[in-house]
């Protein structure tokens, strides 16, 4: 026994930067980060998203530049969202071969290929959001039908057909990964079938498995000029439910998801840990627009240290079990890690 009586002194491992670096249990790597990007039809210059300082709606030209930057930074992926010039009730542009998201996918693939041949290193995986809300004039993630009491509800099975067609259009445009985010029952299986039938068995599915109805998607609505009327509570999950999130992940795994995701990340770290503990496939987490906006707003006011807060928020997501992290700070974090 030492004279002080203290046997264990955990502070020894915290005493110097070199010791702290050695014993860090978790690290961030650019290759695990995915950058979400918005591409808008018919604009000549990027449009800033006011609720997401530093983020923009890209034109086709600047999308190319952004994907090139993501590739040079060594990011693991880009997640593309399209904002069409014209919307209708069924979201027709979602499946149009020349729709804005399909054009964005082709542009991203070209940019990735160019950087790969220049550097000889693998570039980011090109992922596409597979959902109708950016393409419908009512802003819902599926097609509407009259519910039992006469109010409009999203028609699950009719929407599955739309997702299947959309996923095939994305695969045809060159998406490496399609990402169903509409929380329809059976969406992974429907998309897998359609991709396989069309000869795209090599295209992967990243399932937004445990996706909660969240106010933290608020800034995203501005980012995609969303027309949403009402809310998404009949298909996205209730914040009160953790077990249900695990069940959703299990269903997606059984339906053949190649990766499963929890979203938002920060308020659902318990669900993320639970999914990570039971998943045999890679687990992703999406740090969403409102999580981004909160830290940006507090930092802009001088209330928190921006860089330290960004890194801590993302490291927390990693620690909770995410292999892959979608974050609007992906590029900047990669530059800090260099």
Query: Which stretches of the chain bind ligand PBG, using CB under 6 A?
Result: 129, 131, 133, 181, 217, 220, 232, 288-289
Pick 200 or 217: Cβ nearer ligand PBG: 217
To ligand PBG, the closest distance from the beta carbon of 298 in angstroms equals 18
Pick 115 or 134: Cβ nearer ligand PBG: 134
To ligand PBG, the closest distance from the beta carbon of 107 in angstroms equals 19
To ligand PBG, the closest distance from the beta carbon of 36 in angstroms equals 6
Taking a C-beta distance cutoff of 8 angstroms, is the pair 62, 46 a contact? Answer: yes
In the set 103, 211, 232, 318, the catalytic residue is 211
Pick 113 or 297: Cβ nearer ligand PBG: 297
Q: What is each CA distance from 214 to 7, 220, 239, 298, in whole angstroms? A: 47, 11, 8, 20
Pick 181 or 279: Cβ nearer ligand PBG: 181
**263: annotated active-site residue:** yes
Q: Output the six-digit token pair for 131.
A: 């959902």
Element (H, E) at 204: strand 204-211
In sign, the C-alpha dihedral spanning 107, 222, 179, 32 is positive
Strands 177-180 and 33-40: unpaired
Pick 192 or 211: Cβ nearer ligand PBG: 211
To ligand PBG, the closest distance from the beta carbon of 316 in angstroms equals 17
> 10 Å Cβ neighbour count for 134?
26
- Give the position of tokens 């109708």: 132
Taking a C-beta distance cutoff of 8 angstroms, is the pair 162, 133 a contact? Answer: no
Question: Residue 79: which of 13, 178, 152, 7 has the closest Cα?
Answer: 178
Question: Residue 295: which of 272, 322, 273, 317 has the closest Cα?
Answer: 317
To ligand PBG, the closest distance from the beta carbon of 232 in angstroms equals 6
The residues assigned a catalytic role are: 211, 263
């Amino acid at each position: 026994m030492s004279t002080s009586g203290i046997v264990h002194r955990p502070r020894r491992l915290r005493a110097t930067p070199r010791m702290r670096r050695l014993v860090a249990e978790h690290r961030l790597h650019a290759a695990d980060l995915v950058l979400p990007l918005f591409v808008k039809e018919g604009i000549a210059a990027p449009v800033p998203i006011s609720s997401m300082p530093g983020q923009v709606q890209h034109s086709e030209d600047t999308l190319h530049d952004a994907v090139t930057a993501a590739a040079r930074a060594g990011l693991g992926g880009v997640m593309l969202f399209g904002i069409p010039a014209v919307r209708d009730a069924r979201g027709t542009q979602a499946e149009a071969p020349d729709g804005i998201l399909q054009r964005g996918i082709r542009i991203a693939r070209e940019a990735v290929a160019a950087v790969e041949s220049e550097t000889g290193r693998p570039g980011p995986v090109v992922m596409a959001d597979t959902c109708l809300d950016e393409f419908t004039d009512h802003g819902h993630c599926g097609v509407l039908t009259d519910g039992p009491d006469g109010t409009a509800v999203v028609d699950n099975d009719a929407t599955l057909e739309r997702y299947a067609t959309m996923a095939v259009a994305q695969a045809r445009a060159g998406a490496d990964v399609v990402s169903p985010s509409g929380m329809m029952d059976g969406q992974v299986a429907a998309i897998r079938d359609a991709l396989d039938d069309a000869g795209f068995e090599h295209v992967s599915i990243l399932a937004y498995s445990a996706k909660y109805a969240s106010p933290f998607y608020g800034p995203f609505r501005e980012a995609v000029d969303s027309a949403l009327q009402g809310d998404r509570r009949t298909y996205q999950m209730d914040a009160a439910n953790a077990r249900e999130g695990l069940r959703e992940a299990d269903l997606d795994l059984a339906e053949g998801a190649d990766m499963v995701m929890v979203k938002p990340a920060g308020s659902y770290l318990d669900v993320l840990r639970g999914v990570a503990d039971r998943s045999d496939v890679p687990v992703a987490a999406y740090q969403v627009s409102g999580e981004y906006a909160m830290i940006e707003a507090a930092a802009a006011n001088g209330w928190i240290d921006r860089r330290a807060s960004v890194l801590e928020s993302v490291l927390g997501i990693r620690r909770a079990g995410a292999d892959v992290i979608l974050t609007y700070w992906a590029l900047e974090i990669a530059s800090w890690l260099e």
